[in-house]
Amino acid sequence: MATGFYTHPDCLQHDNGQWHPECPARLQAIEDQLIASRIDSLIEREEAPLAEENDLARVHTQAHIDYIKSRTPEHGRSELDPDTSMCPASYRAALRAAGAAIAATDAVIEGRYDNAFCSVRPPGHHAEPARAMGFCLFNNVAIAARHALEVHGLQRVAVIDFDVHHGNGTEAAFTGDSRVLMCSFFQHPFYPFSGADSHAPNMVNVPLPARTKGMAVREVVDLMWLPRLNEFKPQMIFVSAGFDAHREDDLGNMGLVEDDYAWITDQIRAVANRHAQGRIVSCLEGGYNLSALGRSVVAHLRSLAEI
């Protein structure tokens, strides 16, 4: 078996406008680093299908789905908030991004892959059940986690979020849902200014000050995430893989490097091997310094694929 790599050319067509950091070049930077690092031939490529509306509806309200669809412009762009916009191709790209996460979940549960990474955009973890924000239209990871619970009948899944920003959308989807344990760290105080005061017992969200570096983050993972994950015994692990806590990334002010992403992924893999038959589906969230993003995804993939 191997690691599946899900992506689709439609994800390159989503255009937030010139100078926007969440740009198609992000996915191209990942592709370039896969080739440069020669791991391209060691992962299995899959084309992401389109998600269906009823897949989205496991997390999002029908009103939200209808709203996103209705805001699709015939040409130009429509602004959903100061950071988030849609072009004519955005809805289809968003369906591919969610569709990748769902297809990867099916493949991993059916045993076709050990684990999988979805190299997709738009990202998802800021999208709440009834609100698009922070570059996100639909919450890809939350949709895939609900798919695992409700379609495949899993009883416990973990969502791990190592993006520099708090995954407010994922927390909104799962707070109080005892089938899901969410573990994250994030820079605080920082966009979207949530997560530091979450009291739901299934949320392990750790706010960290700006300039926090890898050793401190590893301690958080070791002392705060791993005991909760091992106690929860997830049957599958979903990862909101944002790489904007990298020290070269200007959208965050933390100090992680590629080795830290490899180490965090190793820990996730160890929990998955112990409790979840190794099952991990990881989806790209943030990461805006193109070189650091490509290198960090390679480090993440090397750990997932054990190469």
Residues with a catalytic annotation lie at: 126
Shortest Å distance, C-beta 84 to Zn ion: 13
Residue 244 sits in the site that holds Zn ion (CB under 5 A) = yes
Shortest Å distance, C-beta 109 to Zn ion: 28
Shortest Å distance, C-beta 286 to Zn ion: 3
CB atoms within 10 A of CB 38: 10
Query: Which amino acid type is present at position 277?
Result: Q
Comparison of 113 and 288: residue with beta carbon closer to Zn ion: 288
Comparison of 242 and 255: residue with beta carbon closer to Zn ion: 242
Q: Which stretch binds Zn ion (CB under 5 A): 72-80, 82-90, 217-225, 282-290?
A: 282-290
Binding mask 137-166 for Zn ion (x = CB under 5 A): --------------------------x-x-
Q: Which residue is nearest to Zn ion (CB)?
A: 286
Comparison of 3 and 168: residue with beta carbon closer to Zn ion: 168
Shortest Å distance, C-beta 285 to Zn ion: 6
Spatial neighbors of 36 by CB under 8 A, at least 6 apart, are 294
Shortest Å distance, C-beta 273 to Zn ion: 28
Residue 83 sits in the site that holds Zn ion (CB under 5 A) = no
Residue 242 sits in the site that holds Zn ion (CB under 5 A) = yes
Binding mask 85-114 for Zn ion (x = CB under 5 A): ------------------------------
**Interface with Zn ion in residues 163-222 (CB under 5 A):** 163, 165
Comparison of 191 and 225: residue with beta carbon closer to Zn ion: 191
Comparison of 8 and 165: residue with beta carbon closer to Zn ion: 165
Return d(Cα 193, Cα 270) in angstroms, integer: 31
Residue 171: C-alpha distances to residues 12, 200, 214, 234, 298 (Å): 28, 9, 24, 17, 27
Contacting residues toward Zn ion, per CB under 5 A: 163, 165, 242, 244, 286
